[in-house]
Structure 1
Amino acid sequence: MEKETQDIKQTQLTAEAHLNKFIAFAQKNKAALAIYRLPNDSKLQLLCDLSGGNYIEELNLEDLSPGFIVHPFQTGIDKIVSFDAEILAEISLNPANGASSKRDVLDWKKSPSEEIEKEIENTNLQFDFNLLENSSNHDSTLASDYIDMVEKGIQFIKREEFYKVVPSKIKNIESNNDINLGQAFINACKKYPNAFVNLTYSSKTGLWFGASPETLIEDKKGEYFKTMALAGTQAKSEKSIAETTWTQKEIEEQAYVSRYIINCFKKIRLRDFDEIGPKTIQAGNLLHLKTTFKVNTESVNFPELGSVMLKLLHPTSAVCGMPKESALDFISKEEKHNRGYFSGFMGPVHLNNLSHLFVNLRCCQIYNQSVTFYAGAGITEDSKAEKEWEETEMKCKVLSNIIFGI
């Protein structure tokens, strides 16, 4: 009878309320929390590590316990952090439109005890943004500075120092610490049905929120390995996706990313793979070009392919440039901000024999009284600096509208 009563209480909570309770619980207990929705899925996944997460010196997928991984753009100031799956729960949304309703039920998949479950369900706390750090040294990138950096990158390309580079910027927006994180997450799920919507929190990483359109690797144990090339950006128009046209610059940019992945396969002498695309995909109000690469890991007898490719791919040419070393050197010298976990990667590992890691794009870090948004643009010889600035503004605006409920 007590269990039935508990289930009835759950049905009276929206997904938004469930999420906010989990977030407040994690902060109160200094736990690490990952909330995510995989692309084209109607279920929200909640994963909690009561220990607060663990630092990892070197990432080997095979060595990880089932859980969630958060990896920075560059290891150094920021560390690789893994969250063990001590608590697992799932919320099913209305598949018709991704909206939450009074019938949203939180389904416990794994928890240490009924006491923990009840503590989360009964919490009346709100997440306290005042306990987050302030965004010191996070002044927004000036348009003039970004345009200068792009033009300098174009000159480097013309001198053949590299073929492509991806400079990034930050946009810091003040907040009143009244963001409804649960509602923002649900809104992002509706806005980005094809994206990896995520919210991660720990004392080691801070509070991050995003909706990434790009898979880094998808590794199903004993079955398949996938990765993708994603590049080229334009605003969605009234035309159908099938009628979308792309400029030579955008086609070339996407080809660089695909070539980079194929070169990684060549390095490990892997020739048996399927290449699907490029095709136009939609992410929110933006369109991109995507090519998918798939390998049957059973037929090629390469069970550790995921770990091997992860080390070769990151940072991809889609977030860094090509060749990687010279583009990374340019970014390190020219960008005035630390990327942190932006353009790193994150995602679940070894859950149901699946590791699915995404490049951390379309993301922001939430601070006490401000939110810092990150965006980058791929630069080739045909790039126009002002247009690249406009592209980064467009990318920041889509997510900021969700965060601030506009």
Structure 2
Amino acid sequence: MDTVLKTFDFADGQQDLESVNVAELSPTSGFFFTSPYRSLSTEGCLVKISEPAADGDVMGGKFQQAIEAAFSDARAAGIKHPVLCGAIPFDKRQPSALFVPQKTRWLARDAAMSVATQAESSLPEILTKNELPGQDVFMQMVSDAVQAMNDGKLDKTVLSRLLEIKTCEPVARPVLLSRVVSQNPNGYHFHVPLEKGALIGASPELLLRKHGNKFHSNPLAGSTRRESHPKKDREVSRALLESGKDLYEHRIVTEGMGKVLKSRSRALDIPSSPELLSTATLWHLSTPINGEVQDAQENALSLACLLHPTPALCGTPTLVARDLIEQLEPFDRGLFGGIVGWCDDRGNGEWVVTIRCGTVSDDRVRLFAGAGIVPDSSPESEWRETGVKLNTMLRAFGLN
């Protein structure tokens, strides 16, 4: 295969130095991340960081101190410009799954996609599937959440469910990632190595990208299933743009993020109305947010932790919504509904929301999907919406 990959030195903006044969890279041997901004593939682990990110938005807090100590150790070990990568859980009070790799290769988007889709093989047969919770319980969860809103306790929450799969033999992670990327070419793709297995997914939602003093976010809230017929697909997309329920849900998210970002921004631009963003299976309401930080010491992860969890993945008010989620959901989300990405020692970085994803460990796979719940939510329609979202990963197994 031709040597088509080039790495980059972002210290001076010049192209590097090293060309790499596609066949020499394994996207599932370390952290792997694709983005229109910067894609990367890592090797090895120099320093692990499990410090919870509860105070991650505080520049002098324990979490940021742990990051700086890791960067300092990496520079002492000879890494000129270290990078931190990995995942942070939905609940920032839980341990993080972050590390500084021994080697980082920066890839162009098309090259990264080529690397990710090298594996060609089938996945093992699925022996069992278990829904957690089942439909009746999930629909009751939605009803309970709507009642809490009608009682004035909160404005929105997000409820999720898992699909637990057992296969007849261990799942080959390179094959699963290859199929996920191929079937969802426009998302942010990721592979995060864990102590047991890995987190794999194709998220459509950018939480925070920072380069220099500028930052960008693209929250999604409000969605509908796509249709195979072009005319009907256009009709459902237009209906989404006019849906009072979905526009209300989306406005809660953008207004909440705007309030949080305003105090840390020199400039902030949030459009007054959303636009459409599509994936292979869904239409989403989307609002691109752009801004400039007040403090040059701010980094991508401090801003990401300031926003996380957003009303799009938790609800509002945040703490009330989080407590209701803990009360209603019959499982611990862990990394699901968290954030995944990277941050370098100059403060640049990119973090996406950990959705359209699953964990893989030998012959066990857990898939995750959630839906935003507002006072007008219908339990049955929210069940269907989570089912459509689960299809992103189910399609990778050849199932619908």
Instruction: Tell me the equivalent position of 2:178.
Output: 186
Per-residue deviation, residues 356-400 of structure 1 (Å, max 9, x unmatched):
011111111113322111111001111100010011111112212
Counterpart secondary structure, 1:150: helix
- Report deviation, 1:262: 1.4
Instruction: Tell me the equivalent position of 1:86.
Output: 102
**1:314 correspondence with 2:304:** no
- Give the Cα separation in 1 of the matches to 2:225 and 2:175: 25
Q: Which amino acid aligns with 2:91?
A: Q
Per-residue deviation, residues 96-134 of structure 1 (Å, max 9, x unmatched):
x955699x8xxxxxxxxxxxxxxxxxxxxxxxx9xxxxx
Q: Which amino acid aligns with 1:213?
A: P
**1:175 correspondence with 2:167:** yes
Question: Aligned to 2:292, which of 289, 296, 301?
Answer: 296
- Report deviation, 1:301: 4.9
TM-score by length of 2: 0.76
Q: Would you say the 8 A contact 1:265–1:271 is kept in 2? A: no
Q: Which amino acid aligns with 2:198?
A: L
Give the 3 Å change call, closer, same or farther, for CA 8–375 of structure 1 in structure 2: closer
Counterpart secondary structure, 1:311: helix
Per-residue deviation, residues 135-178 of structure 1 (Å, max 9, x unmatched):
9xx86321111000000000011111001010111111221234
Question: Aligned to 1:227, which of 181, 206, 217?
Answer: 217
Q: Would you say the 8 A contact 1:166–1:319 is kept in 2? A: yes
- Report deviation, 1:309: 3.4
Instruction: Tell me the equivalent position of 2:386.
Output: 392
Instruction: Tell me the equivalent position of 1:67.
Output: 84
Counterpart secondary structure, 1:338: coil
Give the 3 Å change call, closer, same or farther, for CA 226–182 of structure 1 in structure 2: same
**1:212 correspondence with 2:203:** yes
Counterpart secondary structure, 1:186: helix
- Give the Cα separation in 1 of the matches to 2:373 and 2:19: 54
Instruction: Tell me the equivalent position of 1:54.
Output: 49
Q: Which amino acid aligns with 1:228?
A: N
Give the 3 Å change call, closer, same or farther, for CA 405–147 of structure 1 in structure 2: closer
Instruction: Tell me the equivalent position of 1:132.
Output: none
**1:379 correspondence with 2:373:** yes
Q: Would you say the 8 A contact 1:264–1:309 is kept in 2? A: no
**1:254 correspondence with 2:244:** no
Give the 3 Å change call, closer, same or farther, for CA 353–241 of structure 1 in structure 2: farther
List aligned pairs for 1:133-172, cutoff 5 A: 140-172=132-164
Residue segments in structure 2 that go unaligned for 5+ positions in a row = 4-17, 54-62, 72-82, 119-123
- Give the Cα separation in 1 of the matches to 2:398 and 2:50: 32
- Report deviation, 1:90: 5.4
Instruction: Tell me the equivalent position of 2:226.
Output: 236
Counterpart secondary structure, 2:223: strand
Give the 3 Å change call, closer, same or farther, for CA 175–381 of structure 1 in structure 2: same
- Give the Cα separation in 1 of the matches to 2:40 and 2:330: 35
- Report deviation, 1:352: 7.8
- Report deviation, 1:187: 2.8
- Report deviation, 1:275: 1.9
- Report deviation, 1:51: 4.4
Instruction: Tell me the equivalent position of 1:368.
Output: 362
- Give the Cα separation in 2 of the matches to 1:202 and 1:82: 9
Counterpart secondary structure, 2:251: helix
Q: Which amino acid aligns with 1:144?
A: D
Per-residue deviation, residues 263-298 of structure 1 (Å, max 9, x unmatched):
1134x264721224511001221111111111133x
- Give the Cα separation in 2 of the matches to 1:174 and 1:189: 22
Per-residue deviation, residues 1-23 of structure 1 (Å, max 9, x unmatched):
xx9xxx99946x3x8xx42xx64
Q: Would you say the 8 A contact 1:69–1:349 is kept in 2? A: no
- Give the Cα separation in 1 of the matches to 2:305 and 2:226: 34
- Give the Cα separation in 1 of the matches to 2:190 and 2:343: 15
Percentage of identical aligned residues? 21
Question: Aligned to 1:275, which of 257, 270, 276?
Answer: 270
Q: Which amino acid aligns with 1:229?
A: P
- Give the Cα separation in 2 of the matches to 1:225 and 1:8: 30
Give the 3 Å change call, closer, same or farther, for CA 330–281 of structure 1 in structure 2: same
